[in-house]
Structure 1
Amino acid sequence: MSMSFLLGYVKKHTKECYEEGQRPRKLLMLIMFGIICLILLGMEIITLYNWPGLLLLMNLIMQVFLVFNSMTGLVIFGSAVTGFLSRMENIEINSKNALMVGEKCLQEFRRLKKGFGPYLLAVFSVHTLELIIVVYLAVYGVKAGVPIFIIVWFPAFILFTSLPLLYIVLLAEDAYSRFQNISAILRTACIRETSDVKMDYLLLIQQIQQEETFSGCEFFLIEKSTLLSVLGTIVTYSIVLLTSA
């Protein structure tokens, strides 16, 4: 329910970007994520085969709903960011419209950041917690002599949890890098302008350069270094849990 609310918030605040969005880039990662989801559902059915029919059906419905929401969120993010990237790549700037186009790009990037902020905060927080629990259970299961079939389930779930984070980070960095390239174009246009307009160009360039990348509601930035921080958090808390256990 909460994920549905977040996706509704995203579509509301990134409406223009989403409607113009194209097929998500890095499609292979989404396909891999879908395959991993199917593998996990199959393993779930095998593991819970002896459960009463109604309980098994309810559990599968919950799992399918979880997978559907996860995939929907990634597709929406990928479509919106891909649409933004395409517009940045096909942008047409001349001396007459450079300032207006630059301001429009800045506003659109800010809308994307604001719209996806709560979603990114939820995804990174929940997936980090899930990874801590899964790593802890995997190590504890090996020490306790859990059957090998159960142990195989853990790597698949780790991929299911970590792949969306990698996908989001790679797309976010592509969008931010492409957005920052506007500064060079504006500098070239600024040189050709009269002194009256140059100050407007310089202020806009400064705003673009100071603009941060995507973030989880400004609690953390969506960068490759964030993945290292997540990894460090997982290792630290897993060690703490295993030690206390």
Structure 2
Amino acid sequence: MEGRPAARHADVVLSVASWLEKDGTFVNFDRRFQRVRPAVPPLGEARSDFEVVRALTTLMGVDLRCTTPADALGECGRVAPVFAGLSHDRLDREGATPWPCPDPDRPGEATLYRERFATPDGQAHLAAAPYLPPGEQPDDDYRLVLVTGRRWAHYNSGSMTRRGGNLALDPVDFLSLHPDDAARYDVRDGRQFTVESRHGQARLIARVSEQTVPGQAFCSFHFPASGVNRLTSDHADTVTSRLEYKVTAVRVAST
């Protein structure tokens, strides 16, 4: 979406509170349930996710019979036994608790599959996926492989509103090039130049360093003005349909 706010593409926009403004729980990749409590009141007419869902279901004539986030967690435990031992009261007393946690009087299971895997025979079943080459390769016209991603100053920020103060730490989009490639294509550090792919072109500033290996270039993807996202192709993984943001053949021209 080239960094444009998603709200521009919506028919209805609901103002939702941030994690600092709401009560409830969240689960991390380690499967730990943790409590969230409001540190500040929501701004304007913003509501929590829970309040928005309750309001919408009420308008649709459905009574969820859950008046608080604690009630909702209790219902999760009744529907899914792996959560039955979790509650706001328990998390308030004991802190973070991992699931599966089917019993309120026993600890959650911090490590899975100690005795058996969740398969009919209890054994792990491993399979090697066949290698598939990228959808496009560098050639004599497009000799570099462009990788797009995030830089440290913008990690998990900048892809929506770009109003966060941390963006000032790295305010300019640039392309990282190895010194050998910069010399080969007469690209000077700090100078603006054009990057072209088989799909489009972008204007970027060069940053020459050995952080990038020869033959590769790297840039971030959340500066809409530079047009980086016009460079990438529509090739995608055959199973997940994930686009190949990390493999785009490009060429550079000093200007």
Q: Name the TM-score, length of structure 2 as normaliser.
A: 0.19
Structure with the bigger RCO (C-alpha within 8 Å, sep 6+) is 1
More strand by share: 2
Higher fraction of helix:
1
Instruction: Provide the TM-score with structure 1 as the length reference.
Output: 0.20
Bigger Rg, which one: 2
